[in-house]
Structure 1
Amino acid sequence: MSSGAVAIQALVGGSVHAALGASNAVVAAILKGAPIVAVGSNTSRPGMVLWVQPEINQPDQLQGKTLAITRYGSTSDFVTRLILRKLGLEGKVEIRQFGGVVEADVGFRARQAEGRVASQAPGPQAKKLVDAAELGIPFSMNLLAVSNDFYKRAPKSVERILMSYIEGIAGLRTRKQQALEVLGKYMGRRGGTAEMHYEFVTKYLNAVPRIEPTAVDTILEMVGHSGPVQTKLFDNSIIERLAKEGFVDRLYKGGKP
């Protein structure tokens, strides 16, 4: 799917039972009454960078300029707005959607935008201006969400989905050569080297995909929600049990899951 927001739309619409998608889209959907719940998170900080064209040297030069995102409501949109708020540029920069990750990268390379917030450099000319992870903002980039009905009917299936995700991250971290081959095959359209994508995985993706309450608080603030939440946003119970039972530790010690 072209973006995290689209994945969550598919989940809410019933096309899929589970989806890893934009955290803000998950929270916003639940707040609006969507019968879904988050059961895992891939990060606890924003693993994205504000990349700019070579002539941009400082943040204030972006005033009146354009930043490329995939879609409104996506992770790239949300983190872009987080960075702009932190830099004091909120409302002073145009945010333009291009439709998908590849399309937004192409738009940046074609100089249709002066900046692009992404996990990887959107083009060979891209210059790193701000690393969002260094801004001290607790944030989950993507949440693994499931429909309430699916969780109720098939909790073991939800558990297996989480176990498979955890095993995948462990495999990336502990079998580097194989991981580089897989990343090279499936991330080729993004550009860059497999080593560059691997660096992102090992730097930002959590071994234990626990959802941190402070990260959810950041999302609630950005979507404009204040006051108590009347519905359940996330459930860490499966993750906590798997960690307690030693499932994650065994993966990194080379033992049987």
Structure 2
Amino acid sequence: MAVTATVLSLVATVAGCSRASSGGDTASVAGTGTPATEVRLGYFPNVTHASALIGLEEGYFTKELGSTKLTPTKFNAGPDEVAALLGGSLDIGFIGSGPAINAFAKSDGQQVRLISGATSGGAQLVVKPEINTPQDLQGKTVADPQAGNTQDVSLKKWISGQKLTGVNVQNSDNATTLDLFRKGQVVGGWLPEPWSSRLVVDAGAKVLVDEKNLWPDGKFPTTVLVVRTQFLNEHPQTVQAILRAVQQANGLATTNATEAKAAVNRQLKALTGSSLSQPVIDRAFANIELTVDPLASRFPQLAQDQVTAGVAKSAPSLNGFFDLAALNAVLSQAGKPAVSADGLDKK
């Protein structure tokens, strides 16, 4: 799309300063590199990926990308998306914070960069009405989406913190968890939205733990955006286009929540064959905050949580994981304040 010389000059200044301060080697976000012929974008059919769903439904990604072909790819859990990113079959992905860390660690800090936040909040441990305390879970089975995913780490860390030794954790996809809960084969699940709300509204569960209550100010990164480092280096303009679309999606959720919810529901209908009831989507949206701030200060704790949860033997170094130059250039263009990498952009 056409960009005025004035804007190009502004972006070059902002990007140049950001890269200088970060010590990274990503190509300047202004003007260098070439727009990608195609961008392969990963996301989940979850309300915690509302920015992606809104952007797809409202055409924001297509509009901002111009002649670049958009190829959206649906995933159901983070580890599968990590495999696609590291295997080179995916360029940019909306993904949970835990798998994002894993992708960085597995590639020795080389193949991926975290470029933006997407969603804060939106995960709960919901259980049968007769479960009143953590100890009531002893000898019971609790579900989460997949081993090593964001909710799996949160659940296992919480179990460790409660000193529970008899809780069986079962990994199953979210729709299966709903069926298992209704059949009494699991007593609950640590689930992202809208699935925690579906168990509450549609199946009579109650909240035992709202994860936001375990974090300062109730904020924690449920969904972030990561990109293959090579793609970021070669196509910074395309990355900016994706981030502009995310900003527009978040803006719609702020200014017209009714349409944003409807857009998410239309996408879910197209992707899964069914939409959410109004009570479910209302509850799910009430539990999330769409924000491009990745809440970088939370990531050292998230990395350590993987050790506590038994998912990793040691917490990986996250130095150089963040590259927010493109995001902060987009925010500057929109007259919005920059977000911080909390030092994690430095190697």
Equivalent residue runs for 1:1-257 within 5 Å? 1-33=75-107, 35-44=111-120, 46-89=121-164, 91-98=165-172, 100-118=173-191, 119=193, 120-121=196-197, 122=199, 123-136=202-215, 139-187=220-268, 192-201=276-285, 203-207=287-291, 209-224=292-307, 229=317, 231-246=319-334
* 2:214 counterpart letter in structure 1: L
Deviation, structure 1 residue 144: 0.8
* CA spacing shift, 1:56–1:150, aligned 2, 3 Å: same
Q: Is the 8 A contact 2:303 2:316 kept in 1?
A: no
Query: 1:32-69: per-residue Cα shift (whole Å, max 9, x none)?
Result: 2251111112234x421110012212221012211111
* CA spacing shift, 1:227–1:202, aligned 2, 3 Å: closer
Please give the alpha-carbon distance, in whole angstroms, between the structure 1 residues aligned to 2:297 and 2:106: 21
Q: Which moved more, 1:153-162 or 1:165-174?
A: 165-174
Q: Is the 8 A contact 2:105 2:316 kept in 1?
A: no
* CA spacing shift, 1:11–1:228, aligned 2, 3 Å: closer
* CA spacing shift, 1:2–1:243, aligned 2, 3 Å: same
Runs of 4+ deviating beyond 4 Å: 188-192, 225-228
User: Aligned pair count?
Assistant: 245
* CA spacing shift, 1:85–1:15, aligned 2, 3 Å: same
Please give the alpha-carbon distance, in whole angstroms, between the structure 2 residues aligned to 1:227 and 1:112: 34
* 1:38 counterpart letter in structure 2: L
Which residue of 1 is the match for residue 58 of structure 2?
none
Partner SS for 2:158: helix
Please give the alpha-carbon distance, in whole angstroms, between the structure 1 residues aligned to 2:299 and 2:76: 24
Partner SS for 2:84: helix
Please give the alpha-carbon distance, in whole angstroms, between the structure 2 residues aligned to 1:181 and 1:230: 37
Q: Is the 8 A contact 1:139 1:218 kept in 2?
A: no
Please give the alpha-carbon distance, in whole angstroms, between the structure 2 residues aligned to 1:126 and 1:192: 17
Please give the alpha-carbon distance, in whole angstroms, between the structure 2 residues aligned to 1:183 and 1:139: 22
Partner SS for 1:222: helix
RMSD of aligned alpha carbons: 2.6
What TM-score does the superposition give when structure 1 sets the normalisation length?
0.83
Deviation, structure 1 residue 76: 2.3
Partner SS for 2:251: helix
Please give the alpha-carbon distance, in whole angstroms, between the structure 2 residues aligned to 1:201 and 1:245: 28
Deviation, structure 1 residue 245: 3.2
Please give the alpha-carbon distance, in whole angstroms, between the structure 2 residues aligned to 1:14 and 1:227: 25
Partner SS for 1:144: strand
Q: Which moved more, 1:198-207 or 1:127-136?
A: 198-207
Please give the alpha-carbon distance, in whole angstroms, between the structure 1 residues aligned to 2:279 and 2:256: 13
Q: Is the 8 A contact 1:70 1:103 kept in 2?
A: no
Q: Which runs of 5+ in 1 are unaligned?
A: 250-257
* 2:85 counterpart letter in structure 1: L
Deviation, structure 1 residue 146: 0.6
* CA spacing shift, 1:231–1:35, aligned 2, 3 Å: farther
Please give the alpha-carbon distance, in whole angstroms, between the structure 2 residues aligned to 1:2 and 1:145: 16
Deviation, structure 1 residue 96: 0.5
Please give the alpha-carbon distance, in whole angstroms, between the structure 2 residues aligned to 1:162 and 1:17: 14
Partner SS for 2:170: strand
Q: Which runs of 5+ in 2 are unaligned?
A: 1-74, 308-312, 338-347
Please give the alpha-carbon distance, in whole angstroms, between the structure 2 residues aligned to 1:85 and 1:47: 21
Q: Which moved more, 1:3-12 or 1:134-143?
A: 134-143
